[in-house]
Amino acid sequence: MQKAHMTARREWYRHAHKRRRGSALIEFAVVFFLIYILVGGVLVFGRMLFSAQTVNQAVDAASRELARTPLPPTATFEDVRDSTAPPTDFRTRVYSEDWLAINITPWVNAPGGLTLYEYLDTLPIPLVNRHLIPVMFMQQVGNLVLLRYPGALVTSATAPSTFSVEVPVVLSEDYDGNMSIRWVRVLEEIDTEDQPGDNTGPNPDAFPVNSPQGGVAALRLNYPFQSVMFSEWVGDGVIVADDSAVTAVNSPNGTPVDPGGVAGPYEGQFGLGRQFVLGTEVRPYRRLVSAQAVYRREVFE
| Cα 37 from Cα 31, distance rounded (Å) | 10
- Over the stretch 49-73, which tens digit does the pLDDT of each residue have? 889 999 999 999 999 999 998 888 8
Question: What percentage of the chain carries pLDDT values higher than 90?
Answer: 55
| Cα 55 from Cα 109, distance rounded (Å) | 30
* Residue 102: strand pairing partners: 147
Let me know if 209 is exposed, middle or buried by CB neighbors in 10 A (0-12, 13-18, 19+): middle
DSSP letters spanning 142-197: TTEEEEE-SSEEEE-SSSTTSEEEEEEEEEEE-TTS-EEEEEE-SEEE---SSSTT
Q: What is the pLDDT of residue 3?
A: 52
Q: What is the pLDDT of residue 67?
A: 93
Give the alpha-carbon dihedral of 35, 265, 272, 263, to 10 degrees: -110
Strand 137-141 with 144-148, pairing: antiparallel
pLDDT-based confidence at residue 203 (cuts at 50, 70, 90): low
pLDDT-based confidence at residue 105 (cuts at 50, 70, 90): very high
Residue 120: other Cβ atoms inside 10 A: 19
- Over the stretch 213-272, which tens digit does the pLDDT of each residue have? 889 999 999 999 998 888 888 777 889 999 999 999 999 999 999 999 888 999 999 999
| Cα 120 from Cα 37, distance rounded (Å) | 36
Q: What is the pLDDT of residue 15?
A: 55
* Residue 289: strand pairing partners: 223
* pLDDT, greater one: 237 or 28: 237
Q: Is pLDDT at 197 greater than 60 in this prediction?
A: no
Q: Is pLDDT at 35 greater than 90 in this prediction?
A: no
Helix, strand, coil shares of the chain as percentages rounded to 5?
35, 30, 40
Q: What is the pLDDT of residue 287?
A: 92
* pLDDT, greater one: 29 or 86: 29
| Cα 7 from Cα 13, distance rounded (Å) | 10
